[in-house]
Amino acid sequence: MKDYQATIDYLYNQLPMFQRTGNKALRKTLEGITLLCTALGHPQNNYPTVHIGGTNGKGSTAHIVMAILKQAGYKVGLYTSPHYIDFRERIKINGELLPQEDVVDFVSENQEIIQKIQPSFFEITVAMAFHSFQKHKVDIAIIEVGLGGNFDSTNIINPLVSVITNIGYDHKEVLGDSLALIAGEKAGIIKKQTPVIIGEQHEETSPVFLKKAAEMNAPILFSEELMNIKLLHKDAVGAHYHISSKTGEQLYSDLVFELKGDYQRHNLRAALCTIEQLKKISWSISQEDVLLACRNVVALSNIMGRWQQLGEKPLIIADSAHNAEGIQYVIDGFKQINYQTLHLVLGFSREKDLSLIFPLLPKNAHYYFCKPNQPRGLKTEALIEKARAFGIEGLAYSSVQAAFDAAQEAAHKDDLIFVGGSIFVLAELLTQEKKT
């Protein structure tokens, strides 16, 4: 297989893929990834790792940790999912996409193994990441959990530190219909005698993590008990934070963080706690490294889809929040912006529990409903019907681009356009923006 596009088409069309087909692609076993990595010589064991899971914020936290380590002079691998525009966004080295020839070579060289094992799309991408990080001799790899924890393909690593950002209601049909059950799945990444950082505390989930950590004899650290983070103000450069330890020691008097979404303060704190843990085991990271990385996290990591500004006059914001907790943070973010009229371009996956999302949305906004161009996308007719049940009226559009174009045409220069509801919606929009 010599051609990159042919290779990508093969991966998409031959292997079960959750991003397209949903639960049918999931496997509640680590057998497939274990067989793959055994055949590859266990590449995941040849460099240190950090493992980051949770419902929301795990991707942002992973990018922040990666940016800081890169700024500190380390060669850093980063595995995240899903991707927006290019498959290779899933596997980055020092913020750069994996070369196309690496993808082609990996699939070509392991065709026989793939045919024999019949892995899922996710299993093959995780194995490709592990192999690529070994090939490129990274100093450390930051690995984001795909879904859950216990049976996620990334869960065969033995990290230096594990991180669980938070727990919310998402993928209930797979992980469970209570926060405690979901936390139990996420807690599967807690390893023996390995520190675990919990990004946000909750009365239903904290006991689950404490119990699992005790079983694994793993030190457990709640970031909210370690650091205070106070927003000073925001400007064109970013959000300015004062950060101190719980004992009152000043850590950063004015840390400028490029990611301005209000919810990012939680991810920043989890990332900084992770960095502190690495420093305790002799990783060399200075305060200046942290300050520079946080100020330039987009350039260092090439993060996308997080409170991403696509235009001004009208202000256009795109964000990949796709569940109730994430949407609530988005709504809170609107309150920090002065605008005349709010225009919401929204599309969702069909398994999303909209009964938790629609009550959060303002009724006085203009709604532009669309179906992301994925088999898992919720049809606009069903979306409009569900919205009406909560007193929300909107118009249906044939595509994400059509909905976005209509919002742009209707909006005045002092309005706010928001695009979101699904990572798939952002992927379509960002792909089109790149073409133009």
| pLDDT above 90: residue 296 | yes
**Close Cβ partners of 103 (under 8 Å, ≥ 6 residues apart):** 4, 7, 8, 87, 88, 128
**pLDDT confidence of residue 322:** 80
One-letter amino acid of 35: L
> CA dist 283 to 276, 278, 286, 382, Å?
9, 5, 10, 52
The sign of the dihedral angle between the CA atoms of 374, 378, 380, 381 is: positive
pLDDT score recorded for residue 161: 98
Single pTM value for the model? 0.91
Res. 18: pLDDT tops 50: no
Confidence category of residue 352, pLDDT binned at 50, 70, 90: confident
* Percent of the chain topping pLDDT 90: 78
Pairwise pLDDT comparison (41 vs 168), residue with the higher score: 41
Span of 232-236, 322-326, 423-427 with lowest mean pLDDT: 322-326
- Average pLDDT (268-279) is 97
Q: Where are the domains of the chain?
A: 4-301, 308-435
Residue 298: pLDDT band with limits 50, 70, 90:
very high
Return the C-alpha torsion angle 140, 184, 357, 228, nearest 10.
-60
Helix (H, G, I), strand (E, B) or coil at 16: coil
Residue 1: band (very low, low, confident or very high) from pLDDT cuts 50, 70, 90: low
> Which tokens is 210 given?
């404490």
208-211, long-range: CB within 8 Å, 24+ apart, which pairs?
Answer: 208/180, 208/183, 208/184, 209/164, 209/183
pLDDT grade for 23, boundaries at 50, 70 and 90: very low
* Cβ–Cβ < 8 Å for 198, 206: yes
Spatial neighbors of 315 by CB under 8 A, at least 6 apart, are 309, 337, 339, 415, 416, 417
**Cis upstream peptide for 314 (omega within 30°):** yes
User: What are the pLDDT digits (tens) for 131-140?
Assistant: 999 999 999 9
pLDDT(21) > 60: no
The per-residue pLDDT of the chain, averaged, comes to 92
Residue 434's pLDDT is what?
A: 67
pLDDT digits (tens, 9 = 90+) for 152-198: 999 999 999 999 999 887 655 556 568 899 999 999 999 999 999 99
Contacts of 319 (CB under 8 A, 6+ apart): 261, 305, 306, 307, 308, 326, 330, 418, 419, 420, 426
Average pLDDT, integer, range 285-312? 95
CA distance 106 to 11: 12
- Burial of residue 327 (number of CB atoms within 10 Å: 0-12, 13-18, 19+): buried
Given this model, what pLDDT does residue 297 score?
97
- Is 3.20.20.120 the CATH number for 308-435? no
Question: Closest Cα to residue 264, out of 321, 311, 342, 310?
Answer: 321
Cα-based torsion angle of the residue sequence 179, 184, 190, 195 in order, rounded to the nearest 10 degrees: 40
Residue 361: is its pLDDT beyond 60? yes
Question: Can you state the angle between helices 121-135 and 4-14, rounded to 10 degrees?
Answer: 140
User: Average pLDDT in the 248-255 region?
Assistant: 93
Overall average pLDDT of the 230-239 stretch? 91
Q: Provide the pLDDT for residue 129.
A: 98
- Given this model, what pLDDT does residue 321 score? 86
CATH number for the domain whose boundaries are 4-301: 3.40.1190.10
pLDDT, residue 16, reads 62
- Look up tokens 């993590």; give the residue: 209
pLDDT category of residue 292 using cuts at 50, 70 and 90: very high
66-110 pLDDT per residue, tens: 999 999 999 999 999 999 999 999 999 999 999 999 999 999 999
**Is residue 25 very low, low, confident or very high in pLDDT (cuts 50, 70, 90)?**
very low
pLDDT at residue 96, rounded to an integer: 97
Which residue has better confidence, 57 or 172? 57
Q: Rounded to 5 degrees, what are φ and ψ at 432?
A: -65, -40
Residue 17 confidence (pLDDT): 56
**What pLDDT is recorded for position 26?**
56
pLDDT for residue 12: 86
| Cross-strand pairs, 97 | 92
Q: State the pLDDT at residue 144.
A: 98
Q: H/E element holding 191? A: none
Residue for token digits 């927003």?
231
pLDDT, average across residues 250-274? 94
Task: State how far the Cα of 64 lies from the Cα of 303, in Å rounded to an integer.
Answer: 9
Q: Which pLDDT belongs to residue 147?
A: 86
Q: What is the pLDDT of residue 247?
A: 87
Q: How far apart are CA 113 and CA 121, in angstroms?
A: 14
Rounded Cα gap, residues 378 and 382, in angstroms: 7
Given a cut of 80, whether residue 5 has pLDDT beyond it is: yes
Phi, psi of 148 (to 5 degrees): 75, -125
Please enumerate in sequence order all residues whose Cβ is within 8 A of that of 177, keeping only pairs 6 or more positions apart, or say none.
Answer: none
Weakest mean pLDDT among 46-55, 165-174, 295-304, 335-344 = 165-174
